[in-house]
Amino acid sequence: MATRPRTLPAAAAPVIAGTAVAAYEGVFQLGPALAALLGALLIQIGTNLANDVFDHLKGADTQDRLGPTRVTQAGLLTPQQVLTGMWVTFGLAVLVGAYLVWVGGWPIVVIGVLSILSGLAYTGGPFPLGYHGLGDLFVFAFFGLTAVCGTYYVQAGAVSALAVGAAIPIGLLATAIIVVNNLRDVDTDRAANKKTLAVRFGHAFARAEYQVLVIAAYLAPLILWLTGLGPMWLLLTWVSLIFAWRWMQVVNTAQGRPLNAALGGTGQLELQYALLFSISLLLAHWLG
């Protein structure tokens, strides 16, 4: 429960997209791709554990919580048990990272260290990012740009324009997930002095932010094609627009606990988008 398996698509989606770009450009390598996936999942789990315990210690998780049960707040595990699990998980991520460093060199050290530190700093430390309205930027940077481009880099030894282009919509949809989370928790976050963007600027801003993020993500394939960075096949991602529209409507009208469905749905949407994006590139690669 503490590892929150339903959040793992947000970790898998950028690796899938980055690997697809590598395959499309003829630089795919199975070993680094699998290691990147495992490392991303471990960092996501470690971050989930960190959020569970640090939000509890800071008073953000109370009996009024609207989201899924947090094990520390519920008393199912002690803070020390969750912290131990967090350090073990991050330790395993470091072991996976050692292989990726061997493959990709010192840039992977930088990426790995920053990813783990950011996972800790999201809700922990003297300046928790999520408590100062920086969570959205953090998610876009690490679950979009860093994850996609890093996955591509460990296979190609460089970063291509298409890898960056793929990272942007993936990062936008990952950010949309955290926007739903923050919209749902506005009242409890405000009480805990957790100043997310939704708390700072209100419900209407958060709803508008979600719509803009999703729309921009679906405009990205069109821009990549029109600028010559990617094939027309990328428009296949628009097949998932029916699901995007559904969650845009829910976010625009619901509040509180009903937003849990949109939270999980947006995570699934990001994975669907990444899979369709990847299938598009593979079809373009195979069909020429």
Note the pLDDT tens digit of each residue in 117-157.
Answer: 887 777 776 677 778 888 899 899 988 999 999 999 999 99
Q: Please tell me the distance from the alpha carbon of residue 94 to that of residue 32, in angstroms, as a whole number.
A: 14
| pLDDT of 166 above 60 | yes
Q: Please tell me the distance from the alpha carbon of residue 195 to that of residue 224, in angstroms, as a whole number.
A: 35
Instruction: Let me know: does 49 contact 79? Beta carbons within 8 Å.
Output: no
Domain ranges of the chain: 5-287
Q: For 192, which DSSP code?
A: T
Residue 211 exposed, middle or buried by CB count within 10 Å (0-12, 13-18, 19+): middle
| pLDDT of 52 above 80 | yes
What confidence score (pLDDT) does residue 38 get? 95
| pLDDT of 67 above 70 | no
Runs of H (alpha helix) within the chain: 9-24, 30-57, 71-74, 79-104, 106-121, 135-140, 147-156, 161-184, 186-191, 197-201, 203-226, 241-253, 259-287
What confidence score (pLDDT) does residue 60 get? 59
In this prediction, residues 40-65 reach a mean pLDDT of 80
Instruction: Let me know: does 144 contact 171? Beta carbons within 8 Å.
Output: yes
pLDDT in tens, 195-247: 999 999 999 999 999 999 999 999 999 999 999 999 999 999 999 999 999 99
In this prediction, residues 5-30 reach a mean pLDDT of 93
What confidence score (pLDDT) does residue 64 get? 59
* Percent of the chain scoring above 90 in pLDDT: 65
What confidence score (pLDDT) does residue 100 get? 92
